[in-house]
Amino acid sequence: MAEKLLHNYPYLIAALIFAVGCYIVLSHTNLMRKIIGVNVMETAVFLFLVAAGNVRGGKPPIIDLANPDVAYVNPLPSALILTGIVVSVSVTALSLALVVRIHRQYGTIDADEIAAIRSAEDV
């Protein structure tokens, strides 16, 4: 069991980073740190998929007709991750733009301070 887990250590690390990222988003009040947390979470998923596509000792997936019995690395997860990275970049860009607007309008990027300003407005 332990040997299997050690053998598949990238998956364990991915799960760990995922949890760390989730913790960062939920525990920090600074909006920039929340954005970093989301990026950490997404990176963990990318690591998971890229690790899954890797074949130990595998060659790049360029078919060589001369010797067809070579093990190739699975290229599909990397292609998926490329799309995933594009999505993650656009989400980050949008959230940074929103932080700029929040800073302009509230004068702070701390979630607690914003909440305090908003509750003072409501009364």
Q: What's the N-to-C CA distance of the chain in angstroms?
A: 59
Whole-angstrom CA distances from 97 to 4, 24, 82, 93 are 44, 20, 23, 6
Site string for another protein, 56-95 (x = CB under 8 A): --------------------xx--x--xx--x--xx--xx
Total residue length of the chain: 123
Rank residues 54 and 70 by Cβ distance to another protein and give the closer one. 54
Q: Does 52 bind another protein (CB under 8 A)?
A: yes
Rank residues 53 and 70 by Cβ distance to another protein and give the closer one. 53
DSSP string, 26-54: HH--BHHHHHHHHHHHHHHHHHHHHHHH-
In the range 16-45, which residues lie near another protein by CB under 8 A?
A: 18, 21-22, 25, 31, 34-35, 38, 41-42, 44-45
Question: Comparing C-alpha atoms, which of 89, 3, 74, 17 is closest to residue 48?
Answer: 17
Residues near another protein, by CB under 8 A: 18, 21-22, 25, 31, 34-35, 38, 41-42, 44-45, 48-49, 52, 76-77, 80, 83-84, 87, 90-91, 94-95, 98-99, 101-102, 105-106, 114, 118
